[in-house]
C-alpha cells in the first residue's frame, strides 16, 4: 500500500450524488485521487472512469478484487444506506480506510459493527458531513463556541426538498428497509448533526410528529417530520425535515446575548449568508460557493497520512443515528423519548 503522495480512493456506488458531487470533488482535491470505481452498472462505471481518470472499475460482486488493489488506500461509500455497513466491514478487514456517506448506517447496531471493525484493523473511519469544512458553518461554530451569544437557549433548523418517486431519485429512497427512513436520515440529519457539532452538546430527549399529504408516495418512509430535542442546560432545538416542500435550509441559534443565522445552511451549491445581532450590534458575512467535497476528501486523506482521527469520526455518526432512532420512536409512540448513548 502506498504511503506517500495523494491518497488513492475507490468510490463505491455511482448514483446521482457520487457522479455529480463526489467525483468532481477529486478534481479540486490536493491530497486525494480517485483510482477505482465500484458499481452495479458496468457501462456507467467505465464512462465515469474515463471522465474522472479512475484506472480501474469493478462490479459489486468483485468488490474483494477492488480491496486487493494496492492503489486503493481508502473507500468512499456512496451506496444506499442499508449497504454502508456491508461495504465498510470488508474494507476495514482489508486494511482500507473508510469514508462513508451519511447516515452512517440504518441502525445503531450496524454503526457499532463499523466502529468495532475499523478499530480492530486500525483504519480511520469518517462520516461525510461536509458542513465541518464549509466556511460559513465553521464561522457559526466559532461564534457559538466563543460564548459571544451567551448561554444558549433556542435552536431552529430546517432542511426541505420536494421529492417524489421517479426522476433522478432511485426507488430505494422510498423503501424503509434500504433507506432506514425518508426525509429525516436524508436531510434532517444535517439539522441534527450540525446542531450537535456547533454547540458541542448532545440532546437527552426527543419529541416528534410525523405527517404526510401524499400517502400513496410515502407508504414506508417519512415525508415530513418535526422534532424537538432537549439539550442539557435548558437548550431546546426545534427541527423540521421534509420531502414535501421547496428546497430550503437554515440554522438559527439564539442565546442570552444575541443570535446568529446561517441561511441557506445545508445545500452544497448555493451562496451562504451568516448574519445576526450580538449585544445590540448587527453583523453579516457572505460566502461564495466552493467545492466542499474537495475539502472533505483532503481532510480524510490528511488523517490517513498523519494517522490521525478524522472529524467527524464514526462516533459522531453513531450518535446521530441514536438521536434519529429516538425521534422515530417518539413519532410512533406520541410521547417524549429519553436519549441514551452507547459507550
Whole-angstrom distance, CA of residue 88 vs CA of residue 111: 10
Measuring CA to CA, which residue among 336, 267, 303 is closest to residue 7?
Answer: 303
Specify whether the CB–CB gap between 248 and 158 falls below 8 A: yes
Query: Annotated catalytic residue: which of 9, 58, 96, 102?
Result: 102
Any alpha helices (H) in 28-171, and if so which ranges? 42-52, 63-67, 84-93, 108-120, 135-146
190 is catalytic: yes
- Cα–Cα distance measured from residue 180 to residue 176, given in angstroms and rounded to the nearest whole number: 5
Q: What is the DSSP letter of 169?
A: B
Count of other CB atoms within 10 angstroms of residue 280: 7
Cβ-contact 191, 160 below 8 angstroms: no
The residue annotated as part of the active site, out of 9, 129, 190, 328, is 190
Known catalytic membership, residue 129: no
Report whether 314 contacts 104 (CB < 8 A): yes
E strand or H helix at 190, and its extent? helix 189-199
Task: Tell me if residue 307 falls in helix, strand or coil.
Answer: coil
Query: Active-site residues: which are they?
Result: 102, 190
Amino acid at each position: 500500500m502506498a504511503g506517500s503522495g495523494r491518497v488513492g480512493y475507490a468510490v463505491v456506488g455511482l448514483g446521482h450524488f457520487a457522479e455529480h458531487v463526489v467525483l468532481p470533488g477529486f478534481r479540486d482535491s490536493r491530497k486525494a485521487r480517485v483510482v477505482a470505481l465500484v458499481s452495479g452498472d458496468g457501462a456507467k462505471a467505465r464512462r465515469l472512469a474515463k471522465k474522472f481518470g479512475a484506472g480501474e472499475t469493478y462490479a459489486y460482486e468483485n468488490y474483494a478484487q477492488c480491496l486487493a488493489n494496492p492503489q486503493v488506500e481508502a473507500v468512499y461509500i456512496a451506496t444506499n444506506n442499508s449497504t454502508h455497513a456491508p461495504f465498510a466491514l470488508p474494507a476495514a478487514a482489508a486494511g482500507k480506510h473508510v469514508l462513508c456517506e451519511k447516515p452512517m448506517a440504518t441502525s445503531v447496531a450496524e454503526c457499532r459493527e463499523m466502529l468495532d471493525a475499523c478499530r480492530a484493523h486500525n483504519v480511520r473511519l469518517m462520516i461525510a458531513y461536509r458542513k465541518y469544512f464549509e466556511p460559513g458553518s465553521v464561522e457559526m461554530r466559532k461564534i457559538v463556541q466563543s460564548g459571544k451569544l451567551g448561554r444558549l437557549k433556542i435552536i431552529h433548523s430546517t432542511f426541505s426538498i420536494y421529492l417524489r418517486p421517479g426522476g433522478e431519485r432511485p426507488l430505494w429512497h422510498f423503501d424503509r428497509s434500504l433507506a432506514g427512513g425518508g426525509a429525516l436520515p436524508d436531510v434532517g440529519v444535517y439539522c441534527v448533526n450540525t446542531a450537535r457539532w456547533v454547540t458541542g452538546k448532545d440532546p437527552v430527549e426527543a419529541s416528534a410528529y410525523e405527517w404526510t399529504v401524499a400517502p400513496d408516495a410515502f407508504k414506508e418512509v417519512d415525508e415530513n417530520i418535526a422534532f424537538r430535542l432537549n439539550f442539557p442546560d435548558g437548550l431546546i432545538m426545534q427541527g423540521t425535515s421534509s420531502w414535501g416542500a421547496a428546497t430550503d435550509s437554515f440554522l438559527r441559534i439564539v442565546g442570552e446575548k444575541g443570535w446568529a443565522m446561517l441561511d441557506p445552511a445545508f445545500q452544497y451549491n448555493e451562496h451562504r449568508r451568516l448574519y445576526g445581532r450580538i449585544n445590540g450590534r448587527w453583523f453579516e458575512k457572505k460566502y461564495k460557493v466552493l467545492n466542499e467535497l474537495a475539502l472533505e476528501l483532503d481532510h480524510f486523506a490528511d488523517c490517513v497520512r498523519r494517522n490521525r482521527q478524522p472529524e467527524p469520526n464514526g462516533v459522531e455518526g453513531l450518535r446521530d443515528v441514536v438521536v434519529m432512532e429516538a425521534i422515530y420512536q417518539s413519532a410512533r409512540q406520541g410521547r417524549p423519548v429519553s436519549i441514551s448513548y452507547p459507550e
